[in-house]
Structure 1
Amino acid sequence: MDGKSTIIKTVQQDIISNYTRAAELAKQEADKYKKLANTYSLLRLGIFGLMIFSVYLTIQQDNFTIMAVGFVILLAGFAWLVARQGEYERQRNYYLDLERINLNELNSLQTNTNLYNSGQQYSNEKHFYSSDLDIFGNASLYNLINRAATSAGNDKLAAWLNAPADKPTILSRQEAVKEIAANNDWKVNTQTKLLFATKEDTDQMKRLFVYLGVPLELSGEKWLSAYIKIAPYLLFGTILAGVFFYPLFVLIAVAIAFFNTLILLSKGSYILKAGAVADKIGSVLTNYAIVFKAIESNQWQSEKCAKLNEKLRVNQTSKNIEELSKLINKLSYSLIMIVGFILNVFFLWALKQIILIEKWKRNNRHNFEEAFDVIAEFEALMSIAVPSINYPEWTYPVIADTEGYTVIAKNIAHPLIRGKRVDNDYDLKDAYSIDIITGSNMAGKSTFLRTIGINTVLALAGAKVCAAAMEVSVITIVSYMRIKDSLNESTSTFKAELDRLQMLLAAVEHEHRVFFLIDEMLRGTNSMDKYLGSKAVIEQLISKKGVGMVATHDLQIARLEDKYPAYVRNYYFDIQVLKGEMLFDYKIKHGECKTFNASLLLKQIGINVESE
């Protein structure tokens, strides 16, 4: 093992040790708060026992004062214990989630598993490159880096990986990623606070956005607001007057209670609609308020993070979301049978909260979705910061601004390959050219194309790349690699290849700076048509000033370098055969491949190929 490999292994072990230690500490804290919560739960039982004992003493001493005073004191104590227990349970849940987050980083590093979404829903075989380059799904780039809990965050990250950003956007993301990577504690804590959203009902949040975006237009809101303020005083006053002074006031109190009930019944549709939204949303909004506060309280230096944060601070987002969550939680009180009845009769509680929510909507609804988009943006940034934190040996690419195409890489390797990765160099500097890559089966041609492609996707999303150095233009990757037939669409392999070729040629002509990756064209036809067709396609790409790589087994294709020496370059991957055994070095070299291995591979399964 060379010195560089030893250093990388040592650094990686330090990262693993840090996550292991953090997970252990989080577990210890969770256990501590669990014990405290259990203790306070037992104390609550003790309070309940004392209440029963006060009833016993009241009966024995025939003194109602004992129970009255005892209940007041014990109820206050009980409420305090409930509050403390709730706080300890919240702390316990936080540290349990913190343990999960740290263990997830360990699993990602060691087994390539991830508790977050793998992005399977974004898989699209008709996309320019995502299917061929393993961008989405199990064992994908998305699965490696995704740390987004919200559906909006997942969508945002997928969009970044699905298309290249422009140079200013890439550079601003790089700057933001560097800041987040330097503050991994903040990232891990924010992920912990957002972990609840992995179990979130997406439709529920959509319903909330619709509800908050559409005013209820409550008829009579002005006089109802005024009446709600005086209603409890009227009812309490008439009850007291009826009990202590004039019995007639009891009837007036009943009439007021009946009138309040009629008001609530007349607005029943509004209350039901709001109640449906209130169900479980209040606690979710409380959780989001905590996340907004975590973003707002940090002193951001990078331009992108600072701008995102400013959107929240200007609108006092965490404070406003917390206020809304309290209003919705209060509205949910009216759904509790006996408590709700009393609150509604005396305070017109549900209607009062709905009016307050409507006022909140009028003042804040325009900023609401924008605020949640800030969280999605931070989640996407935290995701593309993962390589910077977990793989410090990777590098930030230089974004070239050249007239021609630039893709330069030193020691570039495939980020999804575990264990010993073989790296390569590649050099396309401010040029227009097509590289023909020949080589044996399993020698590394396809992997090299995917290595260039997937690292380019990372680079143009704003992330680090799996290389010692990389410089790349803002280009649009278009791949032609995994071509499959489709029974559902009645498409043969050859027809599927023609469709992909048509898409590629159209992209070269109409899309911005296409860089294509072609692996073995026209496999679904005979060898002569395959050669003639492949040659014709490459010549058409040359005529369109197309730029990219073509991997092939067909040595005749390499002859195009003789015809187009200023445009075509030849590379190859070869093998060495020692005593009938094939040895691969997976290193790309200039020139044409001279050694092929199909006959050796067939011989290994019992088929001898005789030369003619």
Structure 2
Amino acid sequence: MDIIKDYTQRVTNAQQQADKFKELANGYSLMRLVVFALLVLALYFAITLDDFTVLAISFIISLFCFAWLVSRQSVFEKQKRYFLDLKKVNENEIESILNYSNIYDNGSRFADDRHFYSADLDIFGNASLFQLLNRAATPTGNEKLAGWLSAPAEKEVILARQEAIKELSSKNAWKLEMQALLLFANKAETNQLKNLFVYLHIPLALPGEKWLGIYAKIAPYLLVLLIIASYFFPVLRTVAVLVGLFNLGIVSSKASYIKKADLIAGKIGDTLNNYAIVFEKIEKEQWASGYCKNLVERLATGNTSAQIKELSGLINKLNYHLNLIVGFVLNVFFLWDIRQIIAIENWKRNNDKNLEAAFDVIAAYEALVSLASLHINYPDWCFPEIADGPAYTLTAKGLAHPLISRAKRIENDYELDSAFNIDIITGSNMAGKSTFLRTAGINTVMALCGAPVCAQHMKVSVMTILSYMRIKDSLNESTSTFKAELDRLQMLLKAVESDQKIFFLIDEMLRGTNSVDKYLGSKAVIERLIGKKAVGMVATHDLQIAELEKKYPAYIRNFYFDIQVVNGEMLFDYKMKHGECKTFNASLLLKQIGIDVEAE
């Protein structure tokens, strides 16, 4: 509850700051009205006194005052939005702990029934691991985190991520501020940055760019000189007008190139400025972990924020033409649009190669921040040890399912210590076999991406989980349940023959056929897996499968989940024990819905 109190205090502080900046913004808005009223009053006196000088001076002063007030109000509005976003991310942490809800994406687009384990272990989608831990607002951050959860990392990478997550967990204020700064991207267009990257890699190929750049620098001086000279030599007024029209003609002749640049870049100027602030926050923080240090070193020698700000500024300057009057004046004097697209092209030539790598750094930090949220919110979870050696290790004390609430989840111990074993798990319906398989699987996935796990202690080898659990038929693909099971078995057998270290989780094999074929087929598959020195767990109701321990005592181990029946009531403890299950409950469950099963 201490962390919830901390988040609650942060929510209160953020709201107070948001209210303060809202009041300041409203004050400056009122001052803008006062300035406008004074300008109207000055206009009245100018007309009354028939003095143009009063009007001109009043207009210039009012214009500068108004612009300054707008600028200050904009700063306060931005600060207000920031603190409201900070409040939102803190509230989200509270809701995540209490109700497993999340304002961030649940990763449903990454779901894949053909993946080795993600569908069976609830890695993506509603009520998934991704929904629990995701704090990535950007599309690239979501993709990075999904990639980490979709395959195990190397031991060195896992240990480096663990170190980085611990460091980020000690910087919770920094972490939450980072989330607040990036929250704008949570609902942004998915392809916005991808389109920008494509645009930056494709040259605009503006014809005559070199001489246009030279003329654009000369043009304003030439036109101003002609306007001043025309005061003394009226004949030059026509020349000045012609030069202005010539400038507009040049801009109009390049309209297709300007539109091409504006189509992609023009919409992202403010967004890039937001990202520049994020880059600056990363660059300025002092990092101790090697993983975070390496990420910062990739940010173009610590100057990425300045580069992104520069590009943002160029794009926002290009957008001045959206105001027709301002755009007309700027293009007449400065060939403004041409100057900006040339400047953007020069920026692209010097910086385009670094940009995607820089945004990948933000994605990596978002993935780390996501995993750090687990360590902060659940400090009793542990970071697992990563085992070496050719054999398999998966030992755990107090192992529980992270997606089951603390009040309901049951802890179990398990030990596979540098060995080659297949564990047969028997038990009654609803006794906990499938949940334990998923518990072992999902915690292993978390461990091998660098995250803390829902256990008191855990040690695990770097290995790939392959699950055989939720086998579904498919009408679209004309696939029966049995055919789907055969496809999954083929995937498993092919995987164990590869160089990968596979740890399989099988829940009730070959359920889509009759009991005789089911037993004979399951027995044959397990013996084939033994022959391949494969390692994993098999949950089954078939006690005959448990007899394999007698034939392969060095390889097969039996475990079970049982029930206690007291006065016709079933009591579950959901604790795994050594040996075979002797108590089953199918007849009792049928009886509860009105079906009596007679013993033969």
**Interval containing the TM-score (normalised by the shorter chain):** over 0.9
Unaligned 5+ segments in structure 1 are: 1-12
Matches within 5 A, 1:249-260: 249-260=236-247
- In the TM superposition, what is the alpha-carbon distance from 1:313 to its structure 2 partner? 4.9
Residue 157 (1) aligns with residue 145 (2):
yes
What letter corresponds to residue 47 of structure 1 in structure 2?
V
Distance 2:344 2:190 in 1: 22
Distance 1:380 1:478 in 2: 24
Question: Which residue of structure 2 aligns with residue 320 of structure 1?
Answer: 307
Matches within 5 A, 1:460-479: 460-479=448-467
Residue 65 (1) aligns with residue 78 (2):
no
Question: Which residue of structure 2 aligns with residue 8 of structure 1?
Answer: none
Could you say what secondary structure the match of 1:365 adopts? helix
Which residue among 131, 137, 156 is the counterpart of 1:143?
131
Which residue among 274, 282, 296 is the counterpart of 1:295?
282
Residue 413 (1) aligns with residue 413 (2):
no
Which residue among 53, 60, 81 is the counterpart of 1:93?
81
- C-alpha contact 1:476 1:511 (8 A) present in aligned 2: no
- C-alpha contact 1:315 1:367 (8 A) present in aligned 2: no
Distance 1:193 1:83 in 2: 20
Question: Which residue of structure 1 aligns with residue 391 of structure 2?
Answer: 404
Question: Which residue of structure 2 aligns with residue 380 of structure 1?
Answer: 367
- In the TM superposition, what is the alpha-carbon distance from 1:276 to its structure 2 partner? 1.3
- C-alpha contact 2:283 2:302 (8 A) present in aligned 1: no
Q: Give a deviation string over 1:526-549, Cα, whole Å, max 9, x none.
A: 111111111111011101111000
Distance 2:436 2:319 in 1: 58
Distance 1:250 1:64 in 2: 24
- C-alpha contact 1:296 1:313 (8 A) present in aligned 2: no
- C-alpha contact 1:278 1:331 (8 A) present in aligned 2: no
- C-alpha contact 1:408 1:470 (8 A) present in aligned 2: yes
Q: Give a deviation string over 1:396-433, Cα, whole Å, max 9, x none.
A: 00000022000010100000001232100000011111
- In the TM superposition, what is the alpha-carbon distance from 1:481 to its structure 2 partner? 0.4
Cα-Cα RMSD? 1.0
Q: Give a deviation string over 1:89-129, Cα, whole Å, max 9, x none.
A: 00000011001100110111111110000000011111100
Question: Which residue of structure 2 aligns with residue 5 of structure 1?
Answer: none
- In the TM superposition, what is the alpha-carbon distance from 1:335 to its structure 2 partner? 2.5
Distance 1:493 1:191 in 2: 44
Distance 2:186 2:213 in 1: 39
Q: Give a deviation string over 1:168-198, Cα, whole Å, max 9, x none.
A: 1111111111111110111100010000111
What letter corresponds to residue 344 of structure 2 in structure 1?
I
- In the TM superposition, what is the alpha-carbon distance from 1:64 to its structure 2 partner? 1.9
- In the TM superposition, what is the alpha-carbon distance from 1:236 to its structure 2 partner? 1.1
- In the TM superposition, what is the alpha-carbon distance from 1:315 to its structure 2 partner? 5.6
- C-alpha contact 1:141 1:416 (8 A) present in aligned 2: yes
Question: Which residue of structure 1 aligns with residue 232 of structure 2?
Answer: 245
Residue 546 (1) aligns with residue 534 (2):
yes
- C-alpha contact 2:502 2:535 (8 A) present in aligned 1: yes
Question: Which residue of structure 1 aligns with residue 480 of structure 2?
Answer: 492
Distance 2:69 2:252 in 1: 37
Distance 1:159 1:564 in 2: 38
Question: Which residue of structure 2 aligns with residue 360 of structure 1?
Answer: 347
Distance 1:213 1:584 in 2: 61
- In the TM superposition, what is the alpha-carbon distance from 1:280 to its structure 2 partner? 2.6
Could you say what secondary structure the match of 2:145 adopts? helix
- C-alpha contact 1:149 1:194 (8 A) present in aligned 2: yes
- C-alpha contact 2:300 2:354 (8 A) present in aligned 1: no
- C-alpha contact 1:522 1:534 (8 A) present in aligned 2: yes
Could you say what secondary structure the match of 1:548 adopts? strand
- C-alpha contact 2:296 2:302 (8 A) present in aligned 1: no
Distance 2:263 2:166 in 1: 43
Q: Give a deviation string over 1:7-61, Cα, whole Å, max 9, x none.
A: xxxxxx1111111111121111111211211121111111111111100011112
What letter corresponds to residue 532 of structure 1 in structure 2?
L
- In the TM superposition, what is the alpha-carbon distance from 1:202 to its structure 2 partner? 2.2
What TM-score, normalized to structure 1? 0.97
Which residue among 437, 444, 466 is the counterpart of 1:449?
437
- In the TM superposition, what is the alpha-carbon distance from 1:219 to its structure 2 partner? 2.5
Question: Which residue of structure 1 aligns with residue 576 of structure 2?
Answer: 588
Distance 1:305 1:204 in 2: 26
Q: Give a deviation string over 1:478-522, Cα, whole Å, max 9, x none.
A: 000011111111111111111111111111111511000000011
- In the TM superposition, what is the alpha-carbon distance from 1:75 to its structure 2 partner? 1.6
Residue 115 (1) aligns with residue 103 (2):
yes
Question: Which residue of structure 2 aligns with residue 4 of structure 1?
Answer: none
Question: Which residue of structure 2 aligns with residue 525 of structure 1?
Answer: 513
- C-alpha contact 1:278 1:329 (8 A) present in aligned 2: no
Matched pairs, number: 599
Residue 458 (1) aligns with residue 446 (2):
yes
- Greater displacement, 314-323 / 133-142: 314-323
Matches within 5 A, 1:3-14: 13-14=1-2
What TM-score, normalized to structure 2? 0.99
* Structure 1 segments (4+ residues) deviating >3 Å: none
Which residue among 213, 222, 236 is the counterpart of 1:225?
213
What letter corresponds to residue 166 of structure 2 in structure 1?
K
Distance 1:88 1:280 in 2: 23
